[in-house]
Amino acid sequence: MTRSQPDHPTELELEILKVLWRESPLPVRDVRARLESDAGRVLAHSSVITMLNIMHRKGFLKRTKVGNAFLFAPKVEKQRVTGRMMGDLLSRAFDGSPAAMMLNLFETTDLDVDEMAELRRLINRKSKEQQP
């Protein structure tokens, strides 16, 4: 029996995707360096190669051979991946209630004045979009 591929990237896969969404295509050595500087992840070169190849097989990344090296780039869009992750969290933890999820976020997170203003703008925009 073959294992089905997960819909969501693992924690390390997501860190790699974040690196590549910001800048790509990148060779293994640059992905490794950015993981160390951005996320504080110190990984062996061979571990990064293994992860990138696994992510390629899962369909998260595309790779292009240039000379003797491969360059890696995301094959999946950030909004699509984060949307699936949020949808899963919404249904599993909040019984499909966006209001419950947002209320939990407001209660458990320290939002600054600018973030609150941006959220108000987004809520107002969404309200106007739904008016007939």
CA angle 30–31–37, rounded 5-degree value: 85
Is the domain of 122 the same as that of 69?
no
Is the domain of 49 the same as that of 8?
yes
pLDDT at 132: 75
Take residue 131 and report the two structure tokens written for it.
Answer: 């008016």
pLDDT at 6: 59
Is the domain of 111 the same as that of 123?
yes
pLDDT at 77: 96
Is the domain of 54 the same as that of 64?
yes
Is the domain of 86 the same as that of 112?
no
pLDDT at 61: 97
Take residue 116 and report the two structure tokens written for it.
Answer: 């609150």
Q: Which CATH number fits the domain that encloses residue 17?
A: 1.10.10.10
Is the domain of 1 the same as that of 66?
yes
Is the domain of 16 the same as that of 80?
yes
CA atoms in the 13 A half-sphere facing the CB of 127: 6
The domain tally of the chain equals 2
Q: What CA–CA distance (Å, rounded) separates 11 from 15? A: 6
Is the domain of 34 the same as that of 13?
yes
Is the domain of 115 the same as that of 66?
no
What is the pTM for the complete model shown?
A: 0.82
pLDDT at 28: 97
Q: What CA–CA distance (Å, rounded) separates 34 from 40? A: 9
Q: What is the pLDDT along the chain (132 residues), one digit of tens a residue?
A: 444 445 789 999 999 999 999 999 999 999 999 999 988 889 999 999 999 999 999 999 999 999 999 999 999 999 999 999 999 999 999 999 999 999 998 899 998 999 999 999 999 999 998 887
Is the domain of 83 the same as that of 101?
no
Q: What residues make up the domain containing 62?
A: 1-95
Is the domain of 87 the same as that of 102?
no
17 contacts 60 by C-beta, under 8 angstroms: yes
Is the domain of 65 the same as that of 23?
yes
